[in-house]
Amino acid sequence: MPTWTLYALIAVIAWGLAPVFDKLLARELSPWTIVLIRTFAAMIIITVYAVASGSIAELRALPEKNISPWVIVGAAVASALLGGLVGQLANYQALAMADASRVVPMTSTYPLVAALAAVAIYREPLTPYKVVGTLLIIVGVIMVSGVLSDRTQ
């Protein structure tokens, strides 16, 4: 098994378990409060790791990269706003309003958006397997989420 698949599986497990805790928080806290607490906790953990591992030194090496520091900062800010704020707020609001077993499959289709953006922006190839896989994901999410059924929650 290639090493990247191990990391991908770890991400799947972590992202699969996180909504269990997110739903617990969404029952009692506003989405803004959850994002604040989660971001603060992540910042502390990441800062401690970066200092302890010495990886914080990479920040000093930014001017030596083949990409403008402004592009790096701009991309990081865009990612933080889209994924770290807007996406999380909408996710927690949805979890507060519906079952996690319905919300999570729907929100887990974000890789489809990333794949389409990668095809459009980076000219990544769109193979028949990717098209069929994408269609199967969409059908599966529609079935699990119940968006076409008469369930109102």
Check residues 32 and 70 and name the one with the higher pLDDT: 32
Q: Which of 68, 139, 56, 61 is nearest to 105 (CA)?
A: 139
Tokens of 3: 């090493």
Structure letter (DSSP) for residue 84 = I
**Single pTM value for the model:** 0.73
Domain ranges of the chain: 3-99, 109-153
CA distances from 57 to 50, 60, 61, 71, 87 (A): 8, 5, 7, 19, 30
pLDDT 10s digits, 89-130: 999 999 999 888 888 888 888 888 888 898 999 999 989 998
**Residue whose token pair is 């028949």:** 128
Note every long-range contact of 91-97, with CB atoms under 8 Å and residues 24 or more positions apart, other chains counting.
Answer: 91/22, 91/31, 92/22, 92/25, 92/26, 92/31, 92/34, 92/35, 93/26, 93/31, 95/19, 95/22, 95/23, 95/26, 96/26, 96/27, 96/31, 97/153
Place of tokens 């290639």: 2
Q: Which residues of 32-48 are buried (b: 16+ CB within 10 A; e: fewer)?
A: eebbeebeeeeeeeeee
Query: Is residue 152 pLDDT above 70, yes or no?
Result: no
Average pLDDT, the chain: 87
